Structure 1
């Protein structure tokens, strides 16, 4: 097999009438997906010096980009970075800014805003926003920053279009709202000029989530991204597989608009104070009466209970094994001395069982007043109470609970990996002084659910490491990554193979097969009149049409 030059270089000697190589290259480069810069000029000096070096670098990069994603590990300071990004842009535009976050992190945002000297207003309606903006001279209120919760936007109480800059904090919580809400929520921000998203766990296991973020930021239409990068499973919805030949291009494209940061040294800064504590995960299997299998929907009696595989079966097992799992949780707490614990649960019946078995535990749940809930969280975070019971979906995102607690018990398991990993990192995060111990309780009929979670965890670690390697290689200079993407995405190596059985292209008595860029190779063939089975007049007409379609003029 002969390895000849690229198709583009072969075009340089093509006869008159062929596609010009420079124009063809420019046409291909324009099709390579690279996130454009649409932000404001910003230097490190424009960022509040209270922020650490890596935080200031990310803030400047994000403001310059205008629409960017901050996918940073737990404890790297996404809260302060978002506040600074929104402050800089709001002040430059003299227009208000909005941060949307889970209710559980309101306390952290208000605390960090006060540290930065930013007046941050928590609101849950347009009327409250108007009251602030109209409550003083425009020069004092126009660039105000507001904080709200996701529910207020989802329920239409706040219209995002009135803001010049919006940041979605812990946007991964949107998954809990269901796919329909997820798809209808993000387009609400299309009229906002500057948009940002921040989360520690953009799931590399869920490609569609990353695509939705790109759509929210205006980087690429969701449908276009799915078609460009992914092969779909016609038998299973949302089952996406990266095309093998598009894998490198996808991750480099992602790197052009998102920063995946695991530690400051990924950007060349010191890791001092950022040593992640070790974690020990302990699994506890509780036995269940597998003979108590009941009957199927047709009334046929089952011999024994099957492993829970689907969502319906998992819900059934969770209720059937509730007592055994809570008993195991109580046993762990009572055998652990004075250790403080978070008891993660999913069901209200589990919460009530925890409260009955451990009267000293304080619980947070949806029916509580916000101030009551925050008081309970604050007391636990400050070490004033020992036991806290909560649902990951409510308290698992954004809240910092590592100062006085290094142990957590999952009183049950489910299919939602994001809930698991977010809840774990309320404790295993930078500035945690102790090794973290996680106890996971599951029934013997839930082994398949456990295996599914462990596989997702392994893939999460693998793909996060891949993105970290990219940020270490390119830093925040995404132009370098874009250049590599151009090289990877454009052209193929021209390969020629000859043999008697091959009848693709004939040169004299020699018959060869050519693997190359079809337009580049075909252009040279058209000019030479060598298209197989097509006379010179016909081949010239074909490529003349190509040139007209692409807007090129023959030389």
Structure 2
């Protein structure tokens, strides 16, 4: 990797950090590699630099496919290529839009093809088909890069199954993520399988869990995979040669991050409604309709809706089809808390993270100045300081976007069980370029699912931290043998 990075637009020169050299070498000298790097450690520019040299200097790669979250594919990767002087000759094509535009983008004369994760199944179907009971065909790329590979952690998803078949003949494969095991160690198997077809963590998921886990369930229905006491350490040892791990604060200096739990109080009547739904799995709504939870998971979702202030109706047409989704407002406690925070910091712009569409709608109604992050203009206006209240959903805007220039304060309206969503979303503010301490406000109704969500995510974060540190220490102690 070159010793300096030059901004192609301003001419400003930045030194390359030691961790960037280390990550570059890990990719450049390996055909299969994973970068488990914390947010803001320059995964994108490091990967592009390695790909550029493998393409133009070594002629080892002719065509590379980059798979990334949709907004990251359309915004972040193209911006990084345009930003840096040493990448100026990299010819790329963004495979997006309707089917006609995607086809045209695949035919473009380029070395790098960038596609959103939502189009992966379409791409695989285009090149791999089933004939005579077996799959034939292959992706026409020498290299596949999967950015935010944890999006492929579900082994039963179509995107994983189709990509696992399609990449078998691709010699160069790289994974990038800062959250390799957000829900637990089982998240690792599908991601590593995309690199080595089970060489390190068993050929099938069944053999993987049989070896490293016990289960809790009912017959063949598994509720939970429980790692054996030694599982994390052994798994870390198995993948230490192919995975490089780094924590952000170990490598770069960042402002402090402060969590503030804003305790939200429900009225006695509102609290009674919550307790009734939690106890009886059913709640009568003000209009006379009833909401019913059929499973424990369904109950949790409805309880989180209730603490957020509204709950979806369950009305259906006479033939059983669901009506367009509507909701009934049950309380304004969290909207009042958000109003109080905005009043306490009148000179600061705020990102508000929502979980349910009815939250976004109610926030926009209560705060007309609020804008939802949908496209490039919203992204640009936020970083220019022109948006007072930015609404963001973690599933659609939690990866790869640089939002650190527009503010430093974030409010979670409703907690989530998803560690990946938490870490990736908060990292939009906690990253290189942020000059002030960052404050994360969590709106919590005590003794409810709000608190259980926050506590559960803390446990998941601790487990993932152990895995990342274990891989790091094993590499340091025993070194690695490149394959």
The two structures share one fold, judged by TM-score above 0.5: yes
Computed over aligned residues only, the root mean square deviation of the Cα atoms, in angstroms, reads 3.5
Q: What's the counterpart of residue 118 of structure 2?
A: 151
8 Å CA contact retained: 1:277, 1:432:
no
Change beyond 3 A, Cα 1:414–1:280 = closer
Rounded Cα–Cα distance in structure 1 between residues aligned with 2:108 and 2:482 = 43
1:231 paired to 2:214? yes
8 Å CA contact retained: 1:66, 1:195:
yes
Q: What's the counterpart of residue 497 of structure 1?
A: none
1:119 paired to 2:120? no
Q: 2:244 aligns with which of 251, 256, 259?
A: 259
1:471 paired to 2:472? yes
In the TM superposition, residue 85 of structure 1 has moved relative to its aligned partner by: 3.1
Task: Determine helix, strand or coil for the equivalent of 1:346.
Answer: coil
Q: What's the counterpart of residue 52 of structure 1?
A: 17
Task: Determine helix, strand or coil for the equivalent of 1:338.
Answer: coil
Q: 2:260 aligns with which of 281, 285, 288?
A: 281
In the TM superposition, residue 262 of structure 1 has moved relative to its aligned partner by: 0.9
Q: Which one has the bigger strand percentage?
A: 2
Rounded Cα–Cα distance in structure 2 between residues aligned with 1:390 and 1:254 = 35
Rounded Cα–Cα distance in structure 1 between residues aligned with 2:120 and 2:247 = 30
In the TM superposition, residue 306 of structure 1 has moved relative to its aligned partner by: 13
Change beyond 3 A, Cα 1:53–1:179 = same
Task: Determine helix, strand or coil for the equivalent of 2:238.
Answer: helix
Deviation sequence 1:342-377 (CA, Å, 0-9, x none): 111122211111111111111135xxxxxxx11111
Deviation sequence 1:359-406 (CA, Å, 0-9, x none): 1111135xxxxxxx1111121023222221121111111111112311
Gaps of 5+ in 2: 7-14, 128-137, 286-290, 311-331
Alignment of 1:387-536 (within 5 A): 387-444=389-446, 447-468=448-469, 470-472=471-473, 474-475=475-476, 478-479=479-480
In the TM superposition, residue 276 of structure 1 has moved relative to its aligned partner by: 4.7
8 Å CA contact retained: 2:398, 2:425:
yes
Q: 1:310 aligns with which of 274, 296, 313?
A: 296
Q: Which one has the bigger helix percentage?
A: 1
Task: Determine helix, strand or coil for the equivalent of 1:198.
Answer: strand
Q: What's the counterpart of residue 336 of structure 2?
A: 327
Q: 2:360 aligns with which of 351, 358, 362?
A: 351
Deviation sequence 1:498-538 (CA, Å, 0-9, x none): xxxxxxxxxxxxxxxxxxxxxxxxxxxxxxxxxxxxxxxxx
Q: 1:190 aligns with which of 162, 168, 175?
A: 168
Rounded Cα–Cα distance in structure 2 between residues aligned with 1:350 and 1:83 = 38
8 Å CA contact retained: 1:255, 1:481:
no
Task: Determine helix, strand or coil for the equivalent of 1:162.
Answer: coil
Deviation sequence 1:13-39 (CA, Å, 0-9, x none): xxxxxxxxxxxxxxxxxxxxxxxxxxx
Task: Determine helix, strand or coil for the equivalent of 1:154.
Answer: helix
Change beyond 3 A, Cα 1:349–1:83 = same
Rounded Cα–Cα distance in structure 1 between residues aligned with 2:204 and 2:45 = 29
In the TM superposition, residue 84 of structure 1 has moved relative to its aligned partner by: 2.3
Count residues in correspondence: 412
Q: 2:235 aligns with which of 247, 250, 275?
A: 250
Change beyond 3 A, Cα 1:364–1:310 = farther
- What TM-score comes out, normalization by structure 2 length? 0.75
Alignment of 1:361-380 (within 5 A): 361-365=370-374, 373-380=375-382
8 Å CA contact retained: 1:415, 1:449:
no
8 Å CA contact retained: 2:3, 2:16:
no
In the TM superposition, residue 444 of structure 1 has moved relative to its aligned partner by: 4.3
Q: What's the counterpart of residue 207 of structure 1?
A: 185
8 Å CA contact retained: 1:363, 1:388:
yes
8 Å CA contact retained: 2:27, 2:47:
no
Rounded Cα–Cα distance in structure 1 between residues aligned with 2:20 and 2:478 = 16
- What TM-score comes out, normalization by structure 1 length? 0.66
Task: Determine helix, strand or coil for the equivalent of 1:237.
Answer: strand
In the TM superposition, residue 252 of structure 1 has moved relative to its aligned partner by: 1.1
Gaps of 5+ in 1: 1-43, 134-140, 266-270, 366-372, 483-555
Change beyond 3 A, Cα 1:250–1:315 = closer
1:162 paired to 2:140? yes
Between Structure 1 and Structure 2, whose CA radius of gyration is higher? Answer: 1
Rounded Cα–Cα distance in structure 1 between residues aligned with 2:282 and 2:256 = 52
1:77 paired to 2:45? no
Rounded Cα–Cα distance in structure 2 between residues aligned with 1:173 and 1:470 = 21
